[in-house]
Amino acid sequence: MGCFAVVKPLSSRLPDLTLVFVVLLTLAYFFLTHEGLYDLDDYFYARYAHQLASGTFAVVPDPQGLLHDPLKERWLIFGPVAAVYTIFGINSITSTLWPLLCTLGCAGVIWGVYRHREPVVAAAAMLLLGLHYFTLNLTNYLYPDNILMFWCLCCALSLLLGRQTYRDQLVWGAGFAALNFAALLSKETIVYYLPFYLGVLTLDMYRQRNTRFWVAAVALGVCLLGAYLAFYQLYTHDALYRLHLIEQTNEYLKEGNFLAGNRTALVARITYQPVVFLVGTGLGVALLLAGAAALYSRRRPTADAGFWLGLTFTTLAFYWLGSTSLSHYNPITLVPRMATPLLPPLCVAAGFGLRDFVANGRGGYWLALLLLAGAGWLHNSLSVLYMVPALYFALATWWTNPAATSPWRRPGTEHFAALALGALVLALSIRPLYFMQKPSVSAHRAQQQLMRERLQAPARGVVFVDDFLIGNYDFYYGFQVPPDLRFRRFAAADSVRLAPGEKAWLLLNRSTLTNPELTRKLIRYQEPEVLARFPERRSVAQAGTVELFEVLLNAPK
């Protein structure tokens, strides 16, 4: 328990209270900000889940040989979703229940492992990981990143704990291999951890330690990988099909990357841009606390802190300099969801940094200065994320007094730790709370309501929709569209002819037409232009910003 050995009762409640807060805020964010489908990826995963649940999923290679859809090979993304569909049906909530559970699972695993061992580390790591805005944001979408993050955390903990015990090392080693295989079936970027694994293996072999752990891990890992390659050989006649699929995907999506020899952009990408990205996504607080843990560990090294710092460093180096391709140097795209494998080790390492500060109260002025520098450099709304903890560290360092009678001023007490955690709660909650009270940008629920109430059998005819909905309208029907309904783009109005007894409708989602995420590339028209295509129209229903019209086709413009 370290510095909290004397005050165990309250300090052990700090991670308990933190877990409750993180779970409640995550659930509130999930339900209050859910926007339905986001892009093609979550639609494809949902469609594969439906195929798996309905028995129509086919394990065959792309018949055209294009090999540019690796999503179908990530079975532990859509496999659990298929089970949820079977039990609860198909909708946007059931589609994203699996990412939500994995996100909450990360907090639960940290709590379970470190609640008694390192209560401040547990509480701080849960806050930094669980309240990170992009962690919360990714709970709303059927994307693989938070799912992979859960497996990454479990893999790292099985490696750490399995090597710390002399009992059941064969079980721990087998579990380590199985968890990494589960991560591989979720997303290929578990490879970020491979350099660290190899380093730990080399160190253990040099010291002749943990032999049983590694024998079990390697043996089961080879068996699982061999069976996996044999599976692809059987179904695709290419044991390395998934690797070739990734390479072909890189070639297919090479536009905007560094395959064309843009040296200026490449130099920026592997030098300062990762710093700009990490600070700009709000990870600067965790990075500084992890740096503080590294400095403290040099003076008083601990096994757990060194483990998480080592994994943080190697993962960050891979993210900074690594390549998504074996045949080209193609650095990883700097988008928040690509950094999720970095978050578990970084946030746990940062937890050790905060623990070290509350244990002695030293170094706060330096932390405050660097955080204020980050806030000043950003000079935007995100600056508050750095200003709040900067103010805390400055005031706490000034206020602290080891000889004070008040436990709020004395480092090493649960009260002093509670103040530090409170500062993190305040800083990290502002952005999620802001988005929780913003109006919907997609009007997903209103659109779903109109489609369920008005566009169902026995309705017959054509429904004109925007360029976003045209790609996923079948999701609203559980992938079973009424047979007498056809969906067309707005632009197809002049070319559609109705059969006897058919009607035509215009489904106008004003939120979609003004969504900045869509209007940059996909939506190239505004409401007046859409309505001008359908001069003869009659409003039949409206829900919020979504309106359904019955229209007369081929009317004079």
Instruction: Output the furthest CA–CA distance in the chain (Å, rounded).
Output: 90
Model confidence pLDDT, tens digit, residues 79-136: 999 999 999 999 999 999 999 999 999 999 999 999 999 999 999 999 999 999 999 9
Q: Average of pLDDT values for 132-149?
A: 96
- For residue 272, the model assigns a pLDDT of 93
Angle, to 10 degrees, between the axis of helix 364-378 and the axis of helix 284-299? 150
In whole angstroms, what is the distance from residue 156 CA to residue 175 CA? Answer: 11
Residue 5: both structure tokens together: 């050995």
pLDDT of residue 262: 67
pLDDT at 438 > cutoff 70: yes
Q: Is 112 helix (H, G, I), strand (E, B) or coil?
A: helix
Q: Which residue has the higher pLDDT, 328 or 291?
A: 291
User: Which DSSP helix (H) or strand (E) runs through 546?
Assistant: strand 546-551
Q: At what angle do helices 145-164 and 194-207 cross, to 10 degrees?
A: 10
* pLDDT tens profile 180-190: 999 999 999 99
Instruction: Please tell me whether residue 537 adopts helix, strand or coil conformation.
Output: strand
Residues 285 and 427 sit within 8 Å (Cβ to Cβ): yes
pLDDT at 328: 77
Model pLDDT, residue 256: 54
Query: Looking at residue 252, what is its pLDDT?
Result: 67
Q: Which DSSP helix (H) or strand (E) runs through 488? A: strand 485-489
Q: What is the mean pLDDT of residues 145-167?
A: 95
What band does 68 get if pLDDT is binned at 50, 70 and 90? Answer: low
pLDDT on residue 4: 41
Q: 66: pLDDT confidence band, cut at 50, 70 and 90?
A: low
33-42 pLDDT, tens per residue?
A: 999 988 889 9
**d(Cα 34, Cα 313) in Å, to the nearest integer?**
34
Would the pLDDT of 367 be above 80?
Answer: yes
pLDDT score for 258: 62
pLDDT at position 506:
96
Q: Where exactly are the structural domains of the chain? A: 12-437, 444-551
Average of per-residue pLDDT values in the chain: 91
| Average pLDDT, integer, range 137-155 | 97
pLDDT confidence tier of residue 63, bands split at 50, 70 and 90: low
List pLDDT tens digits, range 492-513.
Answer: 998 999 999 899 999 999 999 9
In 3-state terms, what secondary structure has residue 143? coil
- Picking from 140, 143, 110, the residue whose alpha carbon sits closest to that of residue 127 is 110
- Res. 1: pLDDT tops 50: no
Helices within 237-362 (DSSP H only): 241-252, 263-269, 273-280, 284-299, 303-321, 343-360
Rounded to whole angstroms, the Cα distance separating 186 from 184 reads 5
Residues for the chain: how many in total? Answer: 557
Question: What is the structure's pLDDT at 5?
Answer: 38
Which residues lie below 8 Å from residue 413, measured CB to CB, with a gap of 6+? 7, 407
pLDDT confidence band for 3 (50 / 70 / 90):
very low
The answer to whether the Cα torsion of 240, 244, 247, 253 is positive or negative is negative
Residue range 227-254: average pLDDT?
84
- 3-class DSSP state for residue 185? coil
pLDDT of residue 9: 42
pLDDT of residue 302: 78
Please state the pTM of the whole predicted model.
Answer: 0.93
The per-residue pLDDT for 59 is 82
My answer on whether omega of the bond before 458 falls inside 30° of 0, hence cis, is: yes
